[in-house]
Amino acid sequence: MANSILTITLNPAVDKSTNVDNIKPEKKLRCDKPKYEPGGGGINVSRGLARLGIPSTALFLSGGRTGSLLEELLHTENVHTHPITVAAETRENFIVVDTSHNEQYRFGMPGDEVTATESENILQQIQSITPAPKIAVISGSLPPGVPATLLRQIVKDLKEKGTLIVADTSGEALAEILKEGVHLLKPNLGELSTLTGQEELDNDTADEAAQILVNEGKADIVVVSLGPQGAYLVSKNEVIHVPAPSVKKRSTVGAGDSMVAGMVSVLQKGGSLTEMARMGVACGSAATMSSGTGLFTKENAEKLFNWLNK
C-alpha cells in the first residue's frame, strides 16, 4: 500500500454546487457557474488529510461518466486513489445557496444498486491490500445492494492485521461495525442516542452515554460531535470537552468529515487525545468557513487549533 491510511467510501458522489438569488417556485432561476467537487465520507477525509500534508489512499466505488469525473477531481487534489469499478453510475448530489437569504439547500441522490458479485470484489480487494494500513477510516452511507454485514467483515479482516478502525457512519452499517469494535467512533448526538437506547441526549449527558460504548468495548475512543458546542472525547480514562471557536459560518457540508480528518492526522502522528479532540474541532469549524463543499483550508485549521491550545 502506498501509505498507512486507507479511507473506504462505498457510496461516493460528485457534489455539484451553485448559487442563485431568491429561489421561487415555477420561475426560471439564473444560477452561477456550477462547481464540481468529490464527495462521500471517506473521500472527504482523504481530501482533508491532503490539505494537512498527510497522504492517504481513498478506496471507493466508481462507475460511468460520473465515476470518471470523480477520479479526475481527486487526482487534481493530489489524493491517491484505489477505485473499484462497478456497473452502476456514480451518483451526483446537488447543493444550492440562495444568496438573498444565505440559505443552503442540499439534495442528496441515492446510489444505484451494487451487485452481489461486486460486493464480493470489494471484500477481496480490501483483503489483498499489502501491507495492511495502519489506520482505516470507514465513512459515509451504504449503496443499495451492499449488505451491512460486509462492513463488519471488512472491519474483522483489517483488525486481525492490526489496523486501527475509525468509523463515521450510521444506522445498520454502524451497528454491524460496532459488533467487532473500533478504535475511534465519531457519532453525533442523534446517532449516540440510537446506539445507547437513551432518548433526548444533550450536552450534559453525552459524555455519560459515550462512556457506555467504551465500557461495552464497542470503541476505545468516542468523540461526540456537538456542532456549535464543540465536541466531547471520551476514553476509558479521560473525558475531554473542546468548545467550538466562534467563526463566520458559510456552509456545514463536510464539517463532520473534516473533523475526522483532523483527528486522524493526530492519531497517525501518535499525538495525545487532547490534541486529537482539538484538531478535530479546529478542522470541523474551519470547514464551516468555506462555501459550498470546499472543506477547510490548512491556514484556517491551524489558526483555530492554535487558538484552542491557548
Structurally, how many domains does the chain consist of?
A: 1
**What is the chain's pLDDT, residue by residue, as a tens digit (310 residues)?**
556 999 999 999 999 989 999 999 999 999 999 999 999 999 999 999 999 999 999 999 999 999 999 999 999 999 999 999 999 999 999 989 899 988 889 899 988 999 999 999 999 999 999 999 999 999 999 999 999 999 999 999 999 999 999 999 999 999 999 999 999 999 998 899 999 988 888 878 899 999 999 999 999 999 999 888 899 999 999 999 999 998 888 777 788 999 999 999 999 999 999 999 999 999 999 998 987 667 899 999 999 999 998 8
Contacts of residue 1, defined as CB under 8 A and 6 or more positions apart, other chains included, come to 57, 129, 130, 131, 132, 133
Active site residues: 257
Q: Residue 281: which CATH number?
A: 3.40.1190.20
Rounded Cα distance, 6 and 42, in Å: 9
| pTM (predicted TM-score) | 0.94
The range of the structural domain enclosing residue 191 comes to 5-308
Rounded Cα distance, 276 and 267, in Å: 7
Rounded Cα distance, 13 and 38, in Å: 6
Grid cell in block for residue 59: 478506496
